[in-house]
């Protein structure tokens, strides 16, 4: 069903991510995490997402304040930062991480809804 899986990180397509979001949007333990800069996030983002800048010096320390047992859909602009962020999340003990292949650019190219 889903793409490549490395331990507790699984790569998913935009379509798979949107299906998961639709099915889990009301769950308290389901988090959509945008790891782009605050400026990028302000331009557009997936509805219901939280912003945590991967390039921020306190990225790892901010991860410590989040529940490692929640399910995370992680995305960025093109999928590179989100994969790197997912790797860090895995190393510090996060259990269920889904990396969106192609990032928000791919999602928009496929006509998926973003919030401005």
Q: Where do the domains of the chain lie?
A: 5-109
What is the per-residue burial (b if ≥16 Cβ within 10 Å, else e) of 17-45? Answer: bbebbeeeeeeeebbbbbbbbeebbeeeb
> What is the DSSP-derived secondary structure letter of residue 55?
T
- Domain 5-109: what homologous superfamily? Rhodanese-like domain (3.40.250.10)
Residue range 23-68, pLDDT digits in tens: 998 999 999 999 999 999 999 999 999 999 999 999 999 999 999 9
How would residue 112 be classed by pLDDT, with cut points 50, 70 and 90? confident
Q: For residue 97, how far is the Cα from the chain centroid?
A: 8
37: nearest Cα among 50, 49, 54: 54
């Amino acid at each position: 069903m889903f793409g490549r899986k490395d331990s507790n990180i699984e790569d998913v397509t935009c379509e798979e991510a949107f299906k998961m979001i639709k099915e889990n949007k009301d769950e308290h333990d389901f988090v959509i995490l945008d790891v782009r800069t605050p400026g990028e996030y302000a331009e557009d983002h997936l509805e219901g997402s939280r912003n945590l800048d991967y390039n921020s010096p306190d990225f790892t320390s901010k991860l410590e304040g989040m529940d490692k047992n929640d399910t995370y859909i992680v995305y960025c602009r093109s999928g590179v930062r989100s994969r790197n962020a997912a790797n860090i999340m895995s190393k510090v003990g996060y259990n269920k991480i889904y990396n969106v292949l192609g990032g928000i650019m791919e999602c928009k190219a496929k006509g998926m809804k973003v919030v401005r």
